[in-house]
Amino acid sequence: MELIKQNSQSQIIKSILIIFLGSVILAISAKIKIPFYPVPMTMQTFVVLFLGISLGYKVALATIGLYLLEGIVGLPVFSNSPERGIGLAYFMGPTMGYLIGFLSACFIASFIKKDDNYLIIFSKLILSVSTIYIFGILWLGTIIGWDKPIIELGVMPFLIAEIFKILLLTIIAKKILKFRKFI
């Protein structure tokens, strides 16, 4: 009985460390801007999907949740913080829908299995990242008004970069899944 209790405690500690480390990696991925066309690319959505694939939905959702909480309380973890604000004020701004979409994206990505073929993996990743943009444009339209070209502003500039990241993840997803059993 004592061994089971120790195993359970060590698993909880391990999960907490992974969640914290994942939130740090997500924050770093938000800050690194890679020159890309038509707008600079961050690897943030890549990391969100990676977390879902590699950690499973429970730990991935906790990781994204911690990241969002860090940003809401004022840590400059979001892509354009502190330059464009911090905390709840930044979170409630035009990008909130995209940030909320990270939760659904990692959740859906967590259902990729090692026996899925590449077309299925690609499809699940497209669906995953699409939820980020669906939540994003719904919130963006609410904030800036539906009379604006929401799709052109909130989706189109990022499509090429997203396809690139999804293709990369599709290729490496089966390798990522091999490590899930160690987590």
The DSSP code for 57 is: H
Share the mean pLDDT of the chain: 93
Domain that holds residue 30: 2-180
pLDDT computed for residue 183 by the predictor = 64
In this prediction, residue 7 has a pLDDT band, given cuts at 50, 70 and 90, of confident
Residues whose CB is less than 8 angstroms from the CB of residue 119 and which lie 6 or more positions away in sequence, other chains included? none
Query: What is the model's pLDDT at position 42?
Result: 92
CATH (domain of 111): 1.10.1760.20
The pLDDT of 6-35, averaged and rounded, is 92
Number of domains comprising the chain: 1
Rounded to whole angstroms, how far apart are CA atoms 129 and 127?
6
Q: Is the pLDDT of residue 181 over 80?
A: no
Please name the residues in contact with 52: beta carbons below 8 A apart, sequence gap of 6 or more: 60, 105, 106, 107, 108, 109, 110, 112, 128
Q: What percent of the chain has pLDDT over 70?
A: 96
pLDDT of residue 142: 96
- Reported as a single tens digit per residue, the pLDDT across 45-90 is 999 999 999 999 999 999 999 999 999 999 999 998 888 888 999 9
Confidence band for 119, pLDDT divided at 50, 70 and 90: very high
Tens digit of each residue's pLDDT (9 = 90 or more) over 135-179: 999 999 999 999 999 999 999 999 999 999 999 999 999 999 988
Q: In the predicted model, what is the mean pLDDT of residues 115-139? A: 98
- Decide: 79 and 30 in contact? Cβ < 8 Å: yes
What share of the chain in percent tops pLDDT 90? 81
pLDDT of residue 10 exceeding 70, the answer is: yes
